[in-house]
Amino acid sequence: MKESDYLKTLERGINVIKSFQHAPHLTISESAKICGLSRPVTRRVLLTLQKLGYATSRDGKFSLTPRMLSLGYSYLFSLNIWETATPSLEALSEKIQESSSLCKLDDTEVVYVARVPVNKIMSHSLAIGTRLPAYATSMGKVLLAYSTNEQIDRYFQKAELKPFTDKTIIEEEKIREELKNIRQNGWAFSRDQLEIGLMSIAAPVRDVRGEVVAAVNCSTHSGRSSREKVEKEFLPLLLEAAESISKSIDFEIF
């Protein structure tokens, strides 16, 4: 793209919005500091967001409004995720009494785009929009396994492989080996990678062209399940859910 096509103001607006991930209320100066922008620029962004109903202010502090959700949901609505994936996730979660999720890959991370939690301890810590590093999750490994070699190479150039537990696999060669196995098996198993005791399996979701566009998973804890139970009882139901979601995607997802 030509430099003249790039809208610096739009980038700045997005950065100011994201500065509120740090605190619910920010002064112009605080937001400016987080964004690395000048105070006058940040001020104009915040006043414009306020005028449009996406921000509000009181006593010199700004905060975002619930209208902000409509931007993130432009994406979910565009995928029609509530009609295509949620019923299958709900059916899966009800059968196995464990939480299930749908993720997409964004840069080096997986992003939760749908999730059906089951009321258990730890169940509400992952919400839609949550991002996790791909190498440490079953869904991330599925999405990498079905990427092109070029994409995988780029992933390893960019990703920072650091351990979350003493079991986290952070050796590039070991992860590459695992990706090959996942592609052969058609599903991924993950254990103790993000947190000791956490187990999950994931399978690919394909769009109408047959391309892997998302991953579906279910997760459990070694306190209430075993690898044997996961593979014997959960896996067939997970693969069934993945197929049913794939069938319901009647358009191409990029």
User: Which 105-144 residues touch its own copies, going by CB under 8 A?
Assistant: 105-107, 111, 113, 116-117, 119, 123-125, 127-129, 131
| CB nearer its own copies, residue 44 or residue 191 | 44
Q: Which is nearer to its own copies, 65 or 151 (CB)?
A: 65
Helix-helix angle 149-158:138-145, to 10 degrees: 130
Residue 73 to residue 113: CA distance in whole angstroms: 10
64 close to 54: Cβ distance less than 8 angstroms: yes
Nearer to its own copies, 211 or 233 (CB): 211
Binding positions for its own copies, 29-58, rule CB under 8 A: 43-45, 47-54, 56-58
Handedness of CA 78, 84, 87, 93 (dihedral sign): negative
Amino acid at 71: L
Q: Is 184 in the site for its own copies (CB under 8 A)?
A: no
* Rama region for 178: left / alpha / beta (φ>0; ψ in -120 to 50; rest): alpha
Query: With respect to its own copies, which residue has the nearer C-beta, 111 or 238?
Result: 111
Stretch of 61-69, 139-147, 181-189, 229-237 contacting its own copies, by CB under 8 A: 61-69
Residue 128 CB, nearest distance to its own copies (Å)?
Answer: 7
> Per residue in 165-186, is it b (16+ CB within 10 Å) or e — as a string?
eeebbeeeeebeebbeebbeee
The answer to whether 116 and 99 are in contact (CB under 8 A) is yes
Provide the minimum distance between the beta carbon of 124 and its own copies in the complex, in angstroms, as a whole number: 5
Mask 198-237, x = binds its own copies (CB under 8 A)?
----------------------------------------
Contact 105, 69 (CB under 8 A): no
How many angstroms separate the most distant Cα atoms in the chain? 60
Among 38, 39, 69, 196, binds its own copies (CB under 8 A): 69
Q: Which is nearer to its own copies, 106 or 231 (CB)?
A: 106
State in angstroms the smallest separation of the CB of 92 from its own copies: 11
Question: Closest separation between CB of residue 142 and its own copies, Å?
Answer: 15
CB 109 within 8 A of CB 126: no
Helices (H), 25-164: 28-35, 39-51, 69-79, 81-84, 86-96, 138-145, 149-158
The smaller minimum CB distance to its own copies, of residues 126 and 161, is found at 126
Closest to its own copies by CB, 25 vs 191, is: 25
63 touches its own copies (CB under 8 A) = yes
